[in-house]
């Protein structure tokens, strides 16, 4: 059974444009309610969190209407990070968790992500079954069995205590000055609170959401503001989260950025030295730099690659019994602590390394030399498939031939936007640029 609505991270699109309409959200809520409450019993629960987008109110209400119409009881968390929804789905014994967010996308986009009762994102198969139910009878509950909705006011505090519990016992952040950029998103309150409670001097940015400024010139995809703030205040490091706080970029004391690959390299070697890196393996996607793979091999460790998307990283981790994985983009998954990527938790792990080693952020954030990598995106129109073009296929084949023994090429469609992503790695900068630009030109011409 194939999926049409769901991408690599739930349903996503421009708010008030199909599929991200209130009508679709209501029907999707009813379909999910039918899927998870199909035994006809009353008392099934779903927790719903959201980020700070203006459209979040609309989708929260629409999903609630759909879910309660099938007898599901809804627990509304308000603005909380995506990993908090995963955690609270399990601790509140819910059948389903939903996060309303388009992650790092601009405010006019939104998305709906589903978590199962185990706190992990739903499988492709489960999402396909929910999609199929959209076309059928919504199976509304009798009037006396309609579900209830209730606001949960302490969700972020429950999440904060869980995150703090992962920091080494007896250690604190006293004496460290930390910039935290919350991208005007879901963690705008909880992240600064956690760092302050652990003893840090906190300099917050991106903590004034207005419904339209999420990820706007701030956060993990725009770290310049945090970098400037670090230098201006003489901070020891910075943590840049995205709109729903499931990804992170770490900045050192000079404002230089360390991406997910560098963070995973640090964590993998530390965990391996402590004997807690399961099977000596890190799980990452095909986007992770070749330099990371070579670095791990030099340490006697192994890198397993998956398709792009943190859901696929987590699926491989669970299947293989691995406990550390993530993406170059900053999703860091630690299944000993969380069911999905958690930017704040990863930031605390980096801070723990600083505290325990006494080393500067710049010393911990440069673990390997990256192989030159170039990534360019090409937007295409509705109904188009530029990768099916013969000229594009020929350009890709020629590029692959040029890179044999010198590097690697990855061409893929985004799972969340109408983009073709063209990525190559090669130590010959001239060849790298020629390969990527040549394919980009052909994809653009076919779009």
Residue numbers annotated as active site: 103
Which 3 state secondary structure label does DSSP give 258?
strand
Q: Kindly calculate the radius of gyration of the chain based on its CA atoms and give it in whole angstroms.
A: 22
In the numeric block, which tokens belong to residue 310? 């943190």
Q: How large is the angle between the packed helices 260-273 and 290-298, nearest 10 degrees?
A: 10
Which 3 state secondary structure label does DSSP give 159?
helix
In the numeric block, which tokens belong to residue 352? 């723990």
Sign of CA dihedral 271, 275, 276, 279: positive
Q: What angle do CA 384, 121, 119 make, to 5 degrees?
A: 165
- Cα gap 23→46, rounded to integer Å: 19
| Cβ atoms within 10 Å, residue 14 | 16
- Cα gap 236→227, rounded to integer Å: 11
Query: In Å, how far from its chain's centre is CA 438?
Result: 30
Cβ-proximal residues to 31 (8 Å cutoff; 6+ apart), any chain? 66, 130, 131, 133, 134, 138
């Amino acid at each position: 059974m194939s999926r049409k609505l769901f991408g690599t991270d739930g349903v996503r699109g421009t708010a008030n444009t199909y599929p991200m309409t209130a009508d679709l959200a209501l029907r999707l809520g009813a379909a999910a309610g039918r899927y998870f409450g199909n035994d006809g019993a009353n008392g099934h629960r779903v927790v719903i969190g959201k980020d700070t987008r203006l459209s979040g109110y609309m989708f929260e209400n629409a999903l609630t209407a759909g879910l309660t119409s099938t007898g599901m009881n809804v627990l509304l968390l308000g603005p909380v990070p995506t990993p908090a929804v995963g955690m609270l789905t399990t601790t509140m014994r819910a059948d389903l968790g939903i996060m309303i967010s388009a992650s790092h996308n601009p405010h006019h986009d939104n998305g709906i992500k589903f978590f199962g009762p185990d706190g992990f994102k739903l499988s492709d198969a489960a999402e396909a079954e929910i999609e199929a139910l959209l076309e059928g009878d919504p199976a509304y509950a009798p009037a006396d069995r309609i579900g209830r909705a209730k606001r949960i006011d302490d969700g972020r505090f429950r999440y904060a205590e869980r995150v703090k519990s992962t920091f080494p016992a007896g250690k604190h952040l006293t004496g460290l000055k930390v910039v935290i950029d919350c991208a005007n998103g879901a963690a705008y309150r909880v992240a600064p609170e956690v760092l302050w409670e652990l003893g840090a001097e906190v300099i917050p940015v991106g903590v004034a959401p207005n419904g339209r400024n999420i990820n706007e010139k701030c956060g993990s995809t725009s770290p310049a503001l945090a970098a400037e703030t670090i230098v201006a205040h003489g901070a020891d490091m910075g943590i840049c989260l995205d709109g729903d706080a499931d990804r992170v970029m770490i900045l050192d004391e000079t404002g230089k950025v360390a991406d997910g690959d560098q963070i995973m390299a640090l964590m993998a070697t530390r965990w391996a030295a402590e004997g807690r890196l399961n099977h000596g393996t890190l799980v990452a996607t095909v986007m992770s730099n070749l330099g990371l793979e070579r670095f791990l091999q030099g340490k006697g460790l192994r890198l397993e690659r998956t398709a792009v998307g943190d859901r696929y990283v987590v699926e491989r981790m669970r299947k293989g019994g691995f406990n550390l994985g993530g993406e170059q983009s900053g999703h860091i998954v630690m299944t000993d602590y969380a069911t999905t990527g958690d930017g704040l938790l990863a930031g605390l792990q980096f801070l723990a390394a600083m505290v325990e080693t006494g080393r500067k952020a710049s010393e911990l954030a440069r673990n390997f030399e990256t192989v030159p990598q170039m990534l360019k995106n090409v937007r295409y129109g509705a109904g188009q498939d530029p990768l099916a073009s013969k000229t594009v296929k020929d350009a890709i084949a020629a590029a692959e031939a040029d890179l044999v023994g010198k590097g690697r090429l990855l061409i893929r469609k985004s799972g969340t936007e109408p983009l073709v992503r063209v990525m190559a790695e090669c130590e010959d900068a001239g060849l790298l640029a020629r390969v990527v630009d040549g394919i980009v030109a052909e994809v653009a011409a076919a779009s």
